[in-house]
Amino acid sequence: MRRRLLLGTLVCLLFFSILLGVCFHKAWAATDGDDNGYSQISIFAKAVQLIRQDYVDGNKTSYHDLITAAMKGMLASLDPHSQFMDPDDFRDMQDDTRSRFNGLGIEVSMKTGLPTVVTAMEDTPAARAGILSGDQILKINGSSTERMDLQDAVNILRGPPGGKVTLTLLRPSTKEIKEYTLERVEIKVQSIKGTRLLDTELTGPHKIGYIRLIQFNEPTADDLSKALDELQKQGMQALILDLRNNPGGLLNSAVDVCAQFLPPNTKVVSTQGRVASQQREYSTSGAAKQRPNFPMAVLANEGSASGAEIVSGALKDLHRAILVGETTFGKGSVQNVMQLPDGSALRFTTAKYYTPSKQVIHGNGVTPNIRVPMSAEQERALFALRSAENLKPDEEKDMIKTRDPQMLRAIDALKGVMIYAQQNTAKGEAIKK
């Protein structure tokens, strides 16, 4: 009886498999022509069967391990930003958007085949050690990263607080190779830092506000609104928004940040993909608080990526701000995250971002209106300034004067705009008289 039941079950499974295969075959044949999905899946199934049957180490041939490895390879073959996430990886990604995770404070992406630092987040072990945007990770804990999957690299960088990780980095600008041993900590990323009016010794009679935006996560737009309210109460006449080393984050957050400076229903970014559903335009809502049209400069560099590039590109294209610094990272693609039944997820690229003037961000970055390069020494000094505790105002002012040419150039640009506006106002009043 048991044998008959087993045989019946196998026959049903076989029939179902054939039926499913025929459906897949018809569907793929209709959409992909000669790219026959059914025959390729048959080849894949045969490969899995042979590996399970004959591979020397049986501990490595569970269906779960083989299929997971195949999905990782499949996503990694598409582009550096597409990946398969197991349930733990998916939960880590969700924690990122909530502004907390355990790790070294490095945002990484694949570039020229190697994990590359997009930015070292301030107030983290990586920033304090002097790791910079563009540094290439050659080894992690002595193991070469040349054939390492991006998610595998990230999984080593992250982990329980207190664990130590040794990185061997190449700095392309100087060809210097250096080793760092860093300790993981719990990282809580604040959206907004450094809100203040700049010292009058730097700005003269003009009240220029300063806000540093660290990352685009869920509370960013609300935090920015509060910071702007505070500066306006202090009489702010112009603003410097610092997006240097901001790795991006949530798209909606970036759009909401733009809404703080642009009129309602203004298009700030669009996406173009392969299918109609990926042709989208993102505009500011009418709910954001309307503010004076004060002069504005945005600071950006190679470590400004994704959401930071959307904001930089929009404010530059729409002539709302002067962009000062260096060309941004060039990470302007849209990744959809689709959760699978077991709690894992696929993250894959579906479209690319375009600025309001239809400039593609991906691979190109956003170029500044005023280009001001910084040396590696100046960038390290800037990181030290941001990570220092109990820094006196005079020390900060001296550091800006001697180590932050981008900030100085932005201040000069805004002072020029305000002086020009005052002269025009005076001329207009004289004509009326």
Please state, as a whole number, how many other Cβ atoms lie within 10 Å of the Cβ of residue 130. Answer: 18
Catalytic hit among 86, 223, 317, 404: 317
**Which residue type does 324 have?**
V
Pairing assessment for the beta strands 280-283 and 238-242 based on DSSP bridges: unpaired
Catalytic hit among 72, 99, 149, 331: 331
* Of 316, 307, 311, 265, residue with least CA distance to 288: 265
Placement of tokens 């990586």 in the chain: 126
Asked if residue 350 lies in contact with residue 336, where contact means CB atoms within 8 angstroms, the answer is: yes
Please state, as a whole number, how many other Cβ atoms lie within 10 Å of the Cβ of residue 81. Answer: 18
Beta strands in 356-395 (DSSP E): 370-371
Asked if residue 239 lies in contact with residue 210, where contact means CB atoms within 8 angstroms, the answer is: yes
Pairing assessment for the beta strands 192-197 and 185-188 based on DSSP bridges: unpaired
Both tokens assigned to 312: 């930089």
Residues 6+ apart with CB under 8 A from 195: 209, 210, 211, 212, 227, 230, 231
Burial category of 37 from C-beta neighbours within 10 Å (exposed 0-12, middle 13-18, buried 19 and up): middle
What whole-number distance in Å separates Cα of residue 309 and Cα of residue 328? 7
Placement of tokens 């001001």 in the chain: 372
Q: Annotated catalytic, 225?
A: no
What whole-number distance in Å separates Cα of residue 313 and Cα of residue 327? 11
Q: Annotated catalytic, 164?
A: no
Q: Annotated catalytic, 317?
A: yes
Catalytic hit among 133, 306, 312, 333: 306
The DSSP string of 276-344 is GGG-EEEE--S-SPP-----EEEEE-TT--THHHHHHHHHHHTTSSEEEES------EEEEEEE-TTS-
Please state, as a whole number, how many other Cβ atoms lie within 10 Å of the Cβ of residue 293. Answer: 10
Please state, as a whole number, how many other Cβ atoms lie within 10 Å of the Cβ of residue 234. Answer: 11
H-run or E-run covering 401: helix 393-403
Placement of tokens 């199934």 in the chain: 45
- Cα dist. 258→75, 164, 241, 357, 360 in Å? 32, 39, 11, 16, 18
Question: What is the set of active-site residues?
Answer: 306, 317, 331
